[in-house]
Amino acid sequence: MQKKLFSLLGILTLAFTSEAQISKEKLDINFKQSLEKEQFLSPENVQYVVSSEYTTNHNGLTHVYCNQLVNGLEVFNLNADIHLNKDGKIVAYHHNFIANASKFANSNSSKLSKVEALNKALNSVGIVSTQMQTKTSQLENGKDVWFEPSLSSEKMMVKRGYIAVANQIKLVYQVEFLLDETNDWWNKKVDANTGEILEELSYTTHCNFENSSKNQHGSFVFESEVAPVILGKKASSGTYNVFPLPLESPARGQRSLMENMATANGSPYGWHDTNGVAGPEFKITRGNNVFAKEDTLNLNSATIGFSPNGGDSLIFDYEYNVDNKPRNNLNAAIVNIFYWNNIIHDIFNNYGFDEKGGNYQQKNYSGLGLGRDAVMADAMDGSGKSNANFSAPADGSSGRMQMFLWPTSGAASNNNILGVSYPSSVKGKFYGVQSVAGPRLNAARLPGRVILLRDSLIGQSATTNTGCGLIANSNEFAGNIVLIDRGGSCGTQSSVSRTKIKAIQAAGAIAVIIAYNTNGFTPTAVTGTDNAITIPSISIGYGTGVMLKNALASDSVYVTLFDSTEFNPARVYDSDFDNGVIAHEYGHGISIRLTGGPSNSSCLGNQEQGGEGWSDFFGLALTTRVWEKSATASRGIGTFVIDEDTNGVGIRNYRYSRNMAINPVTYNSIKLSSFTVPHGVGSVWCSMLYDIYWDMIDQYGFDPDWYNGKGGNNKTMQLVIDGLKLQKCNPGFADARDAILLADSINNGGANKSLLWKAFARRGLGFSANQGTSASRSDGTQAFDLPTSVTGLAGIDQFTNFNVYPNPAQSIVTVDVFGGASITGVEIYDLNGQLVQTYKNTNLMLPSATLNIQQHCSGYYLLKITSTEGIAYKKLLLN
């Protein structure tokens, strides 16, 4: 078997670079032992390919991320991660591979071409196009790539492979593309033979929160102390008037002019470089790490959008006033997100989110990892409101941050652009979104009668209203406002809507109202420019459209289009100035790329995962003030943008605090309906991390130097980042907990094991907590106990209906269960709480199990015995 295993592992180790310095022989030996402990059937038949691998500088760990191969193709959702120390020994290993997988494969030939699969994926979101059949793709990073701006503002990618579904491994095309309408970066698996969408995941994390207006800020009480940050050697950069680290928002302090902030290791040529040669390439807010610009018209363009120019001296100093209309703060907003994206980039470079780890850079100076993926940061994004999001495709494709305006309730309710004046049954003001194409509405009202477009359908009466083909009643349009449905057979993309508008304009209409044809979606603007469009148009929600059509069925309808924004005195907040929200969004880009490796952005789509929690934690940590204390620290998320005082609850169920009278959540809280997926579930994970954060600060102190500090805050951040690398794909809470504990064992020799276990156990993620499957948030069980390595072996209940013999043992140990029960599994843990062996009983009728334990060193171990009647723990001594 060993000879065969060496042969198959050649596939894995050929991808190793000299930087990893892990010998093939050591990897093979240790990997074989891991497979044997897993009791994996026929490991000699397993084949897989490395998607990415890199070595972390500070601890020397090499992280290898793989996908199983069937018939020479990747199985996209069968993943393995292997982590090796400097000696080539495996210190952590996870996989969901399938034994003898090739026999479950349904086919190796496909009926659909790659272009046809691309069109199927586009069709699933309402994009209909025939032009792709004539387009030629380019091969990039093993994927076929097309770029067609009329369909998507980003590259569209297709790769052939398999996915495991139920008891089959099905041939699919993986299609990745950005849907500009909703800003979702989709990964869709299209059945290569039927065209059915078998699986889909968005790389975009939306922080959708209902707008709230609570206690208004009034006059801010500035907490203006800004701790000095020691950067060491600095690279040449500019001067930026911003709300600097660690200020969370304008509610926490005043702006400062920050100079030469780029770090020599993170941004060695400054924040405005892109070519690795001394001297900036850009005088605007653009550089190697981020391109910050406005996108008020929701163009989603990689090149179009205003950015302030700092001149030859790179001085970015602009007016800001919280009471200004947002556009009057535009320059300051763009500079603030430029500064914070760069600060976060440089800080996390020191903790291991670097070039080889998959960070966001246009040029990777080391030559490791993939470049051409600087963050596209859009200020005052026009695609929505009261929101922010981050798209994190795989390494080599740009991350995209979109920061929205957050109108207070007064501003939101008065900025209507559709007023219905007749009939009285539907009279009122309703929300709509202006199209980018065509003239803009203003406070001058545009009145008109509404005419519902009727499609001309051959051989039947007109029952649709999409305007995709011939129009039955175009003779009624002159001088009127025409109502149509979005979508139809021609699709939902903006280019289609622009074509419809021009056709209606040609018939003499004075304006167009586009009603969403699907319920549950917030209307977004028709994007793109077209000088041929000379009439205004708006998009309205599904419910508003149904209301108008119902009224038109029995009467005439008269409306007025307008925009009252200019005359609305209510305050509109801008998330471009909420640094906690900025850090939160960037945090999604970190957790997604580190979990499962930088080439796989599909490892945080499960229900029980801490994506929102890691992001909240990053925001809280980076905005900690030096005077905060563990006993009194209590923080809400997003209090600034929702118009709350700084002591408000914010946009989570509770403020974050170690005080459980303020934040009482435990592991079981994720089952509650009030803790939604993903934000509510993530807040429970962050509550645990925030407890650990302050426990570590109590132990080691707080160091305001986030770059080179040695405080408890720095140590916690390192554990969290390393935990992301060490955890499995689609991790549950217990998986994430164990990864942090392992990181502490590797980085600190387990010095904080007791502290960490007690913090997790305090909120129900103790040693006996049962995670269940990470695909569900409702099947876990909390526990508040500690492992024997923390409590001592005397704390373990022996139970009388289980027997372990011989004990002490040398090479073989048998476990018996009585009372009619059957054994389902046994786990063996060492005194560090590390799982060292797993036994799964394939015959569930047996009341006994025999384990070979001769590979373990002498000493005490803990057996966790699972039976049909419950779980028991037994001490075991090996001689």
The pair of structure tokens assigned to 368 is 């490791």
Say if residue 198's pLDDT is above 80.
yes
Averaged confidence pLDDT in the chain: 89
Tell me the C-alpha distance between 845 and 823, whole Å.
Answer: 8
| DSSP run (H or E) holding 346 | helix 330-350
For position 460, what pLDDT does the model report?
67
Say if residue 18's pLDDT is above 50.
no
The pair of structure tokens assigned to 348 is 């996390």
- DSSP for 213-254 reads --S---S------------SSB----EEEE--TT--STTT--
Looking at domain 611-783, its CATH architecture is Orthogonal Bundle (1.10)
- What is the DSSP pairing of strand 290-294 with strand 375-379? parallel
Q: pLDDT of 444-500, one tens digit each?
A: 889 999 999 999 987 666 689 999 999 999 999 999 999 999 999 999 999 999 999
Nearest to 177 by CA among 208, 207, 206, 143: 143
Say if residue 798's pLDDT is above 60.
no
Nearest to 278 by CA among 248, 331, 237: 237
For position 232, what pLDDT does the model report?
43
For position 811, what pLDDT does the model report?
87
| DSSP run (H or E) holding 686 | helix 679-700
Indicate the range of 16-25, 209-218, 284-293 predicted with least confidence: 209-218
DSSP structure class, residue 38:
H
Of 355, 585, 608, 612, the catalytic one is 585
Q: pLDDT of 267-312, one tens digit each?
A: 999 999 999 999 999 999 999 999 999 999 888 888 889 999 999 9
pLDDT (mean) for 89-117: 91
For position 462, what pLDDT does the model report?
67
Indicate the range of 420-424, 606-610, 871-875 predicted with least confidence: 871-875
Model confidence, pTM: 0.84
For position 240, what pLDDT does the model report?
98
For position 169, what pLDDT does the model report?
96
What's the fold here for domain 239-408?
Answer: Elastase; domain 1 (3.10.170)
Beta bridge partners of 455: 471
Confidence class of residue 332 from pLDDT cuts 50, 70 and 90?
very high
Residues in the chain: 879
Confidence class of residue 237 from pLDDT cuts 50, 70 and 90?
confident
List of residues 6+ apart from 670 with CB closer than 8 A: 608, 680, 681, 684, 733, 777, 778, 780
Say if residue 797's pLDDT is above 60.
no
Higher pLDDT, 526 or 174: 174
CATH class of this structure's domain 791-878: mainly beta
Between the CA of residue 129 and those of 42, 120, 124, 182, 764, what are the distances in Å? 46, 10, 12, 18, 52
Instruction: Count other C-beta atoms under 10 Å from residue 783's C-beta.
Output: 15
Tell me the C-alpha distance between 44 and 47, whole Å.
Answer: 8
Say if residue 10's pLDDT is above 60.
no
For position 221, what pLDDT does the model report?
38
Pick the CATH number of 416-567 from 3.50.30.30, 3.40.1170.10, 3.40.50.1110, 3.40.605.10: 3.50.30.30
**750 φ/ψ sector (left φ>0, alpha ψ -120 to 50, else beta):** left
The residues spanned by each domain of the chain are 2-104, 114-202, 239-408, 416-567, 611-783, 791-878
Q: pLDDT of 677-719, one tens digit each?
A: 999 999 999 999 999 999 999 999 999 999 999 999 999 999 9
Query: Taking the CA of residue 800 as centre, how many other CA atoms within 13 Å lie in the half-sphere pointing to its CB?
Result: 0
Q: pLDDT of 124-154, one tens digit each?
A: 999 988 888 889 999 998 999 999 988 998 9
List of residues 6+ apart from 460 with CB closer than 8 A: none
- 8 Å CB contact between 528 and 437: yes
List of residues 6+ apart from 14 with CB closer than 8 A: none
Q: pLDDT of 803-838, one tens digit each?
A: 888 888 888 998 888 767 788 889 998 876 778 898
Q: Look up 74 and say whether it is catalytic.
A: no
Nearest to 829 by CA among 803, 861, 790, 805: 861
Long-range pairs of 452-461 with CB within 8 A, sequence gap ≥ 24: 452/482, 452/483, 452/484, 452/548, 452/549, 452/552, 453/482, 453/483, 453/484, 453/504, 455/488
The pair of structure tokens assigned to 694 is 């302050």
Nearest to 480 by CA among 501, 506, 511: 511
* Domain 2-104: assigned CATH number: 3.10.450
For position 222, what pLDDT does the model report?
38
Confidence class of residue 215 from pLDDT cuts 50, 70 and 90?
very low
For position 855, what pLDDT does the model report?
86
For position 234, what pLDDT does the model report?
47
